[in-house]
Amino acid sequence: MRVKVLADKCVGCDSCSIICSQNKHGAIRPKAAGIRVVKDPWAKMEKPIVCRHCKTAPCATACPRGAVYRTPENGTVVLDAGLCNGCGICVTTCPFGAIFMDEISGIPVKCDLCGGLNSPLCVEVCPAGALLMEAGKISP
């Protein structure tokens, strides 16, 4: 499963990254969320960016410490902050720019589908139907 983005429907409210950061950090820190909406109102752009849990995940391949890996239970690509040393290679390797460096902790953040839930919080909260759950894994 992965989150499918319909950018045309995105209203740019950031509710997805707000709720994600609330859930991950117990605090509101949208810049350290697993989903980010790249916006430029003058360029008419609202584009949610979130991990696609690629079939062949370059981030997992690149991680020198095995901190990014696919869970055997549901195939979600996750990042184990305990194993991570903050080198950031996953951030630069992701072809979609969907892993974000948390400037405060120095540890990257990515979508883990809220622990493999069928309906992650970002999908639940999106008021515009711009985020949907979709089956399948893709190659970058």
Partner 1 sequence: MYTGQGITALIDLSKGCVASTRTPDKVVEKFIGGRGINMYYLYKLLRPGVDPLSPENVLIFGTGLLTGTLAPSASRMNISAKSPETGILGDASIGGFFPAEMRLAGFDRLIIYGKAEVPSYLFISDETIQIRDAKDYWGLDVSATQKAIREDLGSDVQTVCIGRAGENLVKMACIMSGLKNAAGRCGLGAVMGSKNLKALVVRGNLGIPIHDSQEMIRLRLQLQEYLLKSKVVKILGAVGTPILYTNSNSLGAIRTHNSQLNTFSKNLSAPEIEKRVEKMLSCYGCPVHCRHRNIFGGEGPEYSTVGLLGANCGVSDTDHVIKLNNLVNELGLDSSSTGTIIPWAIELYQRGLIDQKTTGQPLRFGDYPLVESLIKDIAERRGFGNILAESTGAAKLFGDESRKYLIAVKGLPQSDPHDARYIKSFALGLAVASRGADHLRNRPTLDIMDLPEDLLKEIYGVQIDPDPTSYITKENMVYYHENIYALGDALGICRFITHGFNSPHLLKPEHFVDLIRAATGIESTSAGLLGVAKRIIDLERIINQREGLNKDDDTLPERYFVDKLPLKKAAGHHIDRTRFQELLDRYYRLRKWNSNGEPDLAVKMEIDQLGGVGEHAG
Binding site for partner 1 (CB under 8 A): 8, 11-15, 18-19, 21-23, 25-32, 40-42, 44, 46, 103-104, 121, 124-125, 127-128
Q: How far apart are CA 132 and CA 9, in angstroms?
A: 11
What size, in residues, is the chain? Answer: 140
Question: Which one, 42 or 82, has the nearer CB to partner 1?
Answer: 42
| Separation of alpha carbons 68 and 90, rounded Å | 8
**Cβ closest to partner 1, residue 104 vs residue 138:** 104
CB 126, min distance to partner 1, A: 9
Nearer to partner 1 (CB atom), residue 14 or residue 112: 14
State the nearest-atom distance from the C-beta of 103 to partner 1, in Å.
6
CA distances from 29 to 22, 93, 103, 135, 140 (A): 7, 24, 11, 29, 28
Angstrom distance (rounded) from CA 26 to CA 88: 23
CB of 9 to partner 1, least distance (A): 9
Q: What is the DSSP string of 75-98?
A: --EEE-TTT-----HHHHH-TT--
Closest CB to partner 1 among residues 28, 81: 28
Which residue in the block uniquely carries the two structure tokens 């430029």?
A: 40
Q: Closest distance between partner 1 and the C-beta of residue 49, in Å? A: 13
